[in-house]
Chain A
Amino acid sequence: MPDNEATLEIQHLIREFKPADGDLMGALHAVQHHYGYVPKMALKVVARQLRLSEAKVYGAATFYSEFRLTPPPETLIGWCSGLACRLENGHGIRKALETELGVGMGENTADNKVGLHFAQCNGTCEYAPQVWVNGRVVGSLTAASTVKLVRELKK
């Protein structure tokens, strides 16, 4: 898509957001919801719409861990970093994920098929230790079942 067309599309996405109205988070979410991430050029469009400096928008977009500035992988594995999971070998689950995927936390596989995301506890602690595969809880894991899960996802 040519740049000016993309700009128009982003302008349309965030048309209802106003300057000095507590709208920056909403605008960034609207962009990410549409594209799956916040494209670099969107920072400029959002800044213009909300009358903020681009630096400020960039600062916010990179401050919050749920905004991503690169395209998401096909399958995003959110690893729960909470304590209830930690007690049940949550750290071992992380090691199994990283080793088996061959990537570190916050990275995607080279083919962008599977990515690892550092996620925060959402209170589904009954199913600890767990990961979220594209938002769906896969819980009561063991290190061994995690390895099997990843091998399945990589296929």
Chain B
Amino acid sequence: MPTYDELKVVGDAAWTAVEKPARPLFVVSINTSSIAAGARETYAALEALAASGGFDVMQTGDDGMSWAEPIVQVRKPDGQHILYGGVTQDKVADFAVAAAAGVVANLAIGVIGGAADGIPKLWDLDWAKMQVRWLMHNCGVIDPENLEQYIGRGGYAQFVAATQMSRDDLIELVKGSTLRGHSGSFFSTGTKWSFLKDATAEPKYLVCNADEGDPGAWVNRVIMESDPHSLIEGLLIGAYATGATHGWIYLRDEYPLAIERMNKAISDCLERGILGGDALGTGVNFTCEVVRGAGAYVCGDETGLISSINDERGMPRIKPPFPAQSGVLGKPTNVNNVETYACVTALMRVGADTYSTVGTEANRGTKMFTVSGDVGRTGCVEVPFGMTVDELLAGIGGINDGLAFKALQQGGPLSGLLPAAVAGPLRLEPEPFRELGTGMGGGGLIFLDDRRCVVDLNVMMAHFLEDESCGRCTTCRIGNQRMVEIFERTSRGEGRGEDVAHLKSLDASFQYSNCFHGTLSPTIMRNTLQHFREEYDIHLNEHRCPAQVCEGLVKYVVVGNSPALAEAAAICPDHIAAKGVQPNMDGRCSRGGACVEVAPDDVAVVDRFDGLIPLREIAPADVARAG
């Protein structure tokens, strides 16, 4: 097997070919988000033109700019390096010729290397300026399926360096860095590793939790699709520190590209002797494999995940024993998530001293967040711990359409929801969130503008929590069913004043559940009851939905007769055929308000109980979306 130095020579050459290409190199981001935007078609179109155009094409992962996909970077032999956005297939023919020869100003987002007149430097943009890219060092930079490029960018040197330290020193370094589980648990990684190191039974195992199920969180997907070797390197460092010999990466089924790239990375490592025994001559004997999940959110709980690997239904169990005593196959096991393992690689690369210069006293370093909802720049960013929510929001372009920031739903269905006035000034680290009875979670941040309804949001969350409850604890299984019933009823206009007391009583009984799925299920309900009580009262007592969102609280009435109305009737005739409210339908909508989208001037959304009193003006954005 080759030594590290031999691999490094090949790796340096591979990376130099990218950094200083002999002819223009078009680098296309291929990741789940860009594929949705048509990046594969862009790639194919560029490839077809490459020979005649005198340029080369290569893929990279995800630089976090979902808002600009499909993204193509063009690297030139003279060092000029420009990132272009929105390069859809139909633009490729003109773009390829122009970008190979010069600069395409109308698609350029920023200059990464060299200079180009009139185009800003990428890292001067607000979106980029706030970021520190340690975890995302290779994201959108290397070809994630190319081990040589990873090594050329300094990969696997961290592992080799770690093995030159004593295992105790290494664990002390990780502890001292303040690194804590980035999944949302924020338990000291070094301490967790010391439990496994001190366990007496053999063999020992590592598990990587890649079952990132929180809606709106795709941090781990970005890492696995863009830099899979940074995860494997983190696992190898963990294996050396703890004495583990085998690892499982439990990867959710919803991420097929991440599964493909992790498997490719593992098989490349096996081939080069990085995995599978005496890794790079260090004596570390470790290998790992991907276990493909199958759509169970509760497997994100470490004991649920271990059950799933152990040929069981993925049901969390009672602790103790803790995984470090008895985990996979009954052996000592350490579970961390993708970002945490990758963070060890990043920590070793930047060095403990530099690492400690960023972040806050309690939380050094950086955290990746995925931002979505009513914001301008959906995507993934990496920022220092301690940045405020308002600062981050400004960097991602603020709330869409100049609307007001109503609330932040952070960290998935178990973490919480805070109103803008409370969330805005919060520092992004776990403690300030905990003090408010919420969690920061694993990185998902969903921003809501002031058109959104918190009762509707609870309907969605309660359904999710009910559906994903494993069913073991009565408090969680039945508690979530009751929560669904109450919110469903409320959104149909059958809420009752006493439901508030019912919800509070449910909250108390949830606390007797075994795992976090149960104990944290009522968090969003509790947060919204505390901060949006008025909205609850209007729904429960007045049977109105001020946002005109709740299905059973609005009805559709024909008020005009422009040509658009016939078009709307062809899409959904339910209310239009009768020129008014269909009594047998109770005014309810069967096709999601399609008629209003198509004929906004002819169909009015009105309060179901108060008659023809429009609750709000139809926003211009809604009109623009129609048809």
Contacts and interface: CB of A to CB of B under 8 A. Distances in A.
Given A25-B293, A125-B66, A126-B67, A84 B589 contact: no
Contact of B591 (A22, A52, A96): A96
Given A64-B293, A92-B589, A126 B598 contact: no
B291 A22 contact: yes
A92 to B, nearest CB: 2
A84 B446 contact: yes
A65 B295 contact: yes
B32 interface: yes
Given A25-B292, A124-B32, A126-B33, A87 B373 contact: yes
Contact of A123 (B221, B328, B590): B221
A99 B595 CA distance: 14
B435 interface: no
A88 to B, nearest CB: 9
A48 interface: no
B593 A50 contact: no
Nearest to A150: B591
A148 B224 CA distance: 36
A63 B591 contact: no
B372 A144 contact: no
Interface stretch (B140-148, B178-186, B226-234, B248-256): B248-256
Interface string A120-131: 111111111010
Nearest to A51: B311
Contacts of B291: 22, 25-26
Nearest to B459: A91
A9 B282 CA distance: 43
Contacts of A86: 456-457, 460
A28 interface: yes
Contacts of A100: 591
Nearest to A95: B592
A60 B315 CA distance: 10
Contacts of B253: 66
A66 B311 contact: no
B278 to A, nearest CB: 23
Contacts, number: 185
A29 interface: yes
Interface in B544-586: 551, 568, 571-572
A38 to B, nearest CB: 10
A82 interface: yes
A65 B213 CA distance: 13
B474 to A, nearest CB: 18
Contact of A144 (B214, B294, B329, B626): B626
B308 interface: yes
A126 B66 contact: yes
A94 B373 CA distance: 18
Given A143-B594, A147-B572, A84 B329 contact: no
Interface string B334-371: 00000000000000000000000000000000000010
A54 interface: no
A122 B258 CA distance: 11
A interface SS class: helix
Contacts of A93: 592
A95 B590 contact: yes
A21 B66 CA distance: 38
Contact of B592 (A64, A120, A143): A143
Contact of B378 (A23, A92, A126, A137): A126
A28 B253 CA distance: 12
B564 to A, nearest CB: 11
Contacts of B312: 24, 56, 60
B48 to A, nearest CB: 21
B296 interface: yes
Contacts of B294: 25, 28-29, 64-67
Point out which of A24, A60, A81, A126 has the most chain B C-beta atoms below 10 A from its C-beta: A126
Contacts of A144: 568, 571-572, 594, 597-598, 626-627
Given A22-B248, A95-B589, A122-B255, A147 B594 contact: yes
A64 B446 contact: no
Point out which of A26, A50, A95 has the most chain B C-beta atoms below 10 A from its C-beta: A95
B402 to A, nearest CB: 17
B378 to A, nearest CB: 4
A147 B292 contact: no
B441 interface: no
Given A29-B292, A60-B312, A64-B293, A147 B591 contact: yes
B32 A123 contact: yes
Nearest to B598: A144
Contacts of B33: 123-124, 126
Interface in B196-253: 213-218, 221, 248, 252-253
A80 to B, nearest CB: 8
5 contacts: A29-B294, A63-B470, A66-B293, A126-B33, A144-B598
Given A26-B291, A50-B311, A60-B311, 7 more contacts: A25-B293, A84-B373, A120-B252, A123-B217, A125-B378, A147-B591, A148-B571
For the complex of A and B, the 7 pairs showing the least CB-CB separation, nearest first, are A92-B592, A123-B218, A143-B592, A64-B294, A82-B215, A125-B372, A137-B36
Interface of A: 20-26, 28-29, 50, 52, 56, 59-60, 63-67, 81-84, 86-87, 89, 91-96, 99-100, 118-128, 130, 135, 137, 139, 142-144, 146-148
Interface of B: 32-33, 35-37, 66-67, 69, 213-218, 221, 248, 252-256, 291-297, 308-315, 328-329, 370, 372-374, 378-379, 409, 446, 448, 452, 456-457, 460-461, 463-464, 467, 470, 551, 568, 571-572, 589-594, 597-598, 625-627
